[in-house]
Amino acid sequence: MEATGLLERTEGLYAKVQHAIPAIEWPLLARDIDAIMALKKSHNAVILAHNYQTPEIYHCVADLVGDSLALAREAMNVEADVIVLAGVHFMAETAKLLNPSKKVLIPDLAAGCSLAESITPADVRNLRKRYPGVPIVTYVNTSAAVKAESDICCTSGNAKAIIESLGVKRVIMIPDEYLAKNIAAETGVEIITWKGHCEVHERFSAAEVAELRDDYPGVVILAHPECPPDVVGASDFSGSTAAIASYIAKERPPRVALLTECSMSDNVAIQYPELEFVRPCNLCPHMKRITLPKIRHALETMTHEVTIDPAVAERARLSVERMLAVKA
């Protein structure tokens, strides 16, 4: 009886994701979805989900979805008491920086990022000593402590605009070497890079792009700018996850390959069933730590709460706010 009610309550949601989720898996997912919906109401909570979250999270329980930039902007305007960040730790920290009076929860504390891991606050202080007077632009994929040592943040969605807004000939851009090189190619500004890489995007190669073009004639290839520069150079378009989604919405390429995390294609393909998505994707093990049972547990126990040392938060917030003040 209960199971029938549950399936009836969730049938509209299943209709949305049926091409991505086998029917046999739905009853189990539906139980968690139903519980999460009730918990969101009772705790006055909202779920912010990144574009790399699985379809049952992205399409079924999230209140707001987007790339890192959109999630930061949305977090700032949340009026609910609790924000559950279905994404990785730096995204939850950014939400806390921008809306400090809210309780921000991350369903798995170990949801990190290879870029955030690649640099420490001491590294940033050393760079500043080595290149006095050169502004430090820090990708949001970093800890709050690293942001606190920086002049301004950027995301893949606004990196070019941020660099150009500084009006200087030379900047330090940390920690993603490939993003920095890809943006340098677009701006003509000299960029001093760091040696961090995204463990997901660094695995794509130009040879793979050539193979895709041979195997799938006419395929349009869209690459995230965390991919190596030769991969971006061999692709038809490069942009943040939001820019990739907008490209598809506007151009509707009949056959398309997204050189980015796997769930991105799953989520966009649900919106455009008429397009063929070739899927040479790589999984982000950190994003995949976030699951429906963990979101449910986070809301049931109000864990894991994200906190930031107030002295660090004050300086980190400045870097993020300077970024948000630039029109992109």
Which of 115, 119, 179, 219 binds ligand SF4 (CB under 6 A)? It is 115
Regarding 32 and contact with ligand SF4 (CB under 6 A), the answer is: no
Which of 226, 257, 290, 298 binds ligand 13P (CB under 6 A)? It is 226
Which of 114, 142, 240, 291 binds ligand 13P (CB under 6 A)? It is 240
Span of 63-71, 93-101, 214-222, 288-296 interacting with ligand 13P by CB under 6 A: 63-71
Span of 61-69, 73-81, 101-109, 158-166 interacting with ligand 13P by CB under 6 A: 61-69
Regarding 287 and contact with ligand SF4 (CB under 6 A), the answer is: yes
Both tokens of 39, joined, read: 């918990």
77 vs 81: CA distance, rounded Å:
12
DSSP SS3 for 277:
strand
Residue 199 interacts, among ligand 13P, ligand SF4, none and using kind-specific CB cut-offs from 5 to 8 Å, with ligand SF4
| Region 125-164 residues binding ligand SF4, contact defined as CB under 6 A | 141
DSSP code for 109: T
Question: Is the separation of the CB atoms in 209 and 127 below 8 Å?
Answer: no
Residue 156 interacts, among ligand SF4, ligand 13P, none and using kind-specific CB cut-offs from 5 to 8 Å, with ligand 13P
Regarding 182 and contact with ligand 13P (CB under 6 A), the answer is: no
Regarding 165 and contact with ligand 13P (CB under 6 A), the answer is: no
Alpha carbon of 220 to those of 3, 238, 249, 271: distances in Å?
A: 43, 11, 14, 18
Q: Which is nearer to ligand SF4, 29 or 323 (CB)?
A: 323
Max Cα separation, the chain? 70
Listed in sequence order, the residues at least 6 apart from 243 whose beta carbon sits closer than 8 Å to its beta carbon are 67, 156, 157, 237
Residue 316 interacts, among ligand 13P, ligand SF4, none and using kind-specific CB cut-offs from 5 to 8 Å, with none
- Scored b (16 or more CB within 10 A) or e, 126-151 reads ebbeeeeebbbbbbbbbbbbbbbbbb
Regarding 158 and contact with ligand 13P (CB under 6 A), the answer is: no
Minimum distance of ligand SF4 from residue 90's CB (angstroms): 8
12 vs 16: CA distance, rounded Å:
7
Question: Is the separation of the CB atoms in 45 and 82 below 8 Å?
Answer: yes
55 vs 57: CA distance, rounded Å:
5
14 vs 121: CA distance, rounded Å:
45
Regarding 53 and contact with ligand 13P (CB under 6 A), the answer is: no
Which of 200, 209, 256, 306 binds ligand SF4 (CB under 6 A)? It is 200
- Note the residues at the interface with ligand 13P (CB under 6 A): 51, 67-69, 141, 155-157, 198, 224, 226, 240-241
- Note the residues at the interface with ligand SF4 (CB under 6 A): 88, 113-115, 141, 198-200, 226, 261, 284, 286-287
